[in-house]
Amino acid sequence: MAEPLLENITVVGASLAGLRAVETLRREGFPGRLTLVGAEPHLPYDRPPLSKELLAGTWEHDQIVLRKAPYAELELELYLGNPAAALDVGKRTVTLATGIEIAWDGLVIATGSQPRLLPNTPPLDGLYTLRTLDDCFGIRTRLDAGARVCVIGAGFIGAEVAAACRSRGLDVTVLEMLEQPMVRGVGSVIGSVLAELHRDQGVDLRCSVAVDAIEGGGKVERVRLVGGAVVECDLVLVAIGAVPTTDWLIGSALTLDDGVVCDSSLLATPLVVAAGDVCRWPNALFGGDLMRIEHWTNAAEQGVFAAHRLLSGDAETPFAPVPFVWSDQYGIKIQCAGRFTGTDRMELVHGALSDHRFVVIFENDGVISGVLAFNQPRQVMLYRRMIAERASFSDALSFAAANQ
Amino acid sequence: MKIIVDFDKCKSNAVCMGVAPEVFEVRDDNFLYILQEEPTENLRPKMEEAVRTCPAGAIELVG
């Protein structure tokens, strides 16, 4: 069934997913009123470099602008620095924090996610999370001054910040609650490779530790661990994951459960779609399990897909990609594609773990479910295609044997 | 239609190769090679997707 002709679309969230959505709407010929709402004062910018080149000090703001073409071409009503505060699906309005009410007949929700915070943490100077450009410049100023850094959490962000600190010759301690970095996703073998990588580069990585308190008189002075050990530091970065930005949707009649729950075509409710970190949807490629993905590629692809879904009314085509993420640490390109449960069978198919140039593939239920590699982008894309085709694990192993 | 890659920006993520292996190839040396600098018009949707999904924003389409 075709949707009624839309005349007035609002996109809430002015980062990658929101930008790709407005670009897609115009490219597909949407002629009506198009409004883009962003919580931050900046035009859409690229976030991955915030924990890499920007923090290392090799790039500036102008190098992470997401859209190079003029914004005038998009004919947007633009509200920046103006977070959405409420949604009324019945009345079809979004209310901004400043009280402005925006009517819509089609809505894209792309409000992303925000860093998870440590409970019971006092508001100390020098205590940071890293999500926004302003966070990044705040941290960078401290690094310029030679801060001793303590990172809580050894996920992608924590690991990249640690790498950026080491590239500047700064002392950095990374505290991880589990026994290895990223063990929950990629298992203990790869976790120990990552741990060794950081230690070789001079990071003081401490695993299986719990933070008791972040202490200081007005400013960060130390992190106290359960058991009594103390890390003296000037800057603490809390990098323990993110939560979807859905507080403004509470009471809106949308289903909220670790994100905006959508159908397989990214529709949350008639005339409302979601895209990016905030979207939780059943991925048909993985048995229709609900997924929420915080990766760059997912935000870019969902922004395009959700906008097309809204305009076309196509309820049949599912959004069913192979999730993909990359990280750059110490000159090593780490790439993962697929789904990782932490308990999948893993096989090394190219290279050697100790060479920092290898490919491992993962098996779940007889099919190849994931690929992870250091410095092997070509191979990752070949296996990513096999994951998309739901190739059997034995076929993947045969392919590997034929491609040595 | 002409493909222009800013090789200073390219970080060899090989996402473009996933989209259009007939045009983009990342080889075992981890460098990107362009197999057709002027792809045929029927490849335009794929080329636009490669531009949009390049994590480094390194691909440009002219004409």
Query: Considering CB atoms only, which of A301, A377, A384 is closest to B53?
Result: A301
Give the residue from chain B lying closest to A295, CA to CA: B55
Beta pairing, strands A101-103 & A93-96: antiparallel
Give the residue from chain A lying closest to B20, CA to CA: A381
For residue A227 the two structure tokens come to: 């058991």
Asked if the Cβ–Cβ distance from A300 to B18 is below 8 Å, we say no
Q: Does B53 touch chain A (CB under 8 A)?
A: yes
Radius of gyration (Cα) for chain A, nearest Å? 22
Alpha-carbon torsion B42, B43, B48, B49, what sign? positive
The b/e string for B23-56 (b: 16+ C-beta within 10 A; e otherwise) is bbbbeeeeebebeeeebeeebeebbbbbbbbbbb
Residues A102/A9, Cβ–Cβ less than 8 Å: no
Query: Considering CB atoms only, which of A23, A68, A380 is closest to B14?
Result: A380
Give the residue from chain A lying closest to B12, CA to CA: A377
Give domain A8-114+242-312's CATH number out of 3.40.50.300, 3.20.20.140, 3.50.50.60, 3.40.50.850: 3.50.50.60
Give the residue from chain A lying closest to B51, CA to CA: A300
**Overall fold of domain A331-402:** Enolase-like; domain 1 (3.30.390)
Query: At A56, which amino acid appears?
Result: A
Supply the pLDDT for residue A1: 42
User: What CATH number belongs to A117-238?
Assistant: 3.50.50.60
For residue A263 the two structure tokens come to: 């159908």
Asked if the Cβ–Cβ distance from B30 to A384 is below 8 Å, we say no
Asked if the Cβ–Cβ distance from B30 to A380 is below 8 Å, we say no
**Chain B residues closer than 8 Å to A48 by CB:** 55
Residues B55/A297, Cβ–Cβ less than 8 Å: yes
**Chain A residues closer than 8 Å to B16 by CB:** none
Distance between CA atoms of A206 and A380, rounded to whole angstroms?
30
Q: Does B17 touch chain A (CB under 8 A)?
A: yes
Strand ranges in A140-181 using DSSP code E only, listed in sequence order: 149-152, 172-175
pLDDT under 70: residue ranges of chain A: 1-4
**Chain A residues closer than 8 Å to B27 by CB:** 378
Distances (CA, A) of A323 to A105, A135, A146, A240, B56: 31, 27, 37, 21, 17
**Chain A residues closer than 8 Å to B19 by CB:** none
Residue A231's beta-bridge partner residues? A223
Asked if the Cβ–Cβ distance from A297 to B53 is below 8 Å, we say yes
Give the residue from chain A lying closest to B9, CA to CA: A63
Q: Which of A64, A328, A375, A381 to mutate to test the interface with B (most CBs of B within 10 A)?
A: A381
Q: Does A20 touch chain B (CB under 8 A)?
A: yes
**ipTM score assigned to the predicted complex:** 0.90
Supply the pLDDT for residue A4: 63
**Pairs of residues, one from chain A and one from chain B, whose beta carbons lie less than 8 Å apart:** 47
From the CA of A194, how many Å to the nearest CA of chain B?
19
What is the length of chain B? Answer: 63
How would you write A171-234 as a 3-class SS string?
CEEEECCCCCCCHHHHHHHHHHHHHHHHHHCCCEEECCCCEEEEECCCECCEEEECCCCEEECC
Residue-wise pLDDT for A142-187, tens only, equals: 999 999 999 999 999 999 999 999 999 999 999 999 999 988 878 8
pTM over 0.90: yes
Cα A265 to the center of its chain, rounded Å: 20
Asked if the Cβ–Cβ distance from B30 to A377 is below 8 Å, we say yes
User: Within 10 A of A19 (CB to CB), how many other CB atoms are there?
Assistant: 25
Supply the pLDDT for residue B38: 96
For residue A346 the two structure tokens come to: 């893993």
User: What CATH number belongs to B2-62?
Assistant: 3.30.70.20
Supply the pLDDT for residue A184: 80
Q: Which of B4, B24, B49, B53 to mutate to test the interface with A (most CBs of A within 10 A)?
A: B53
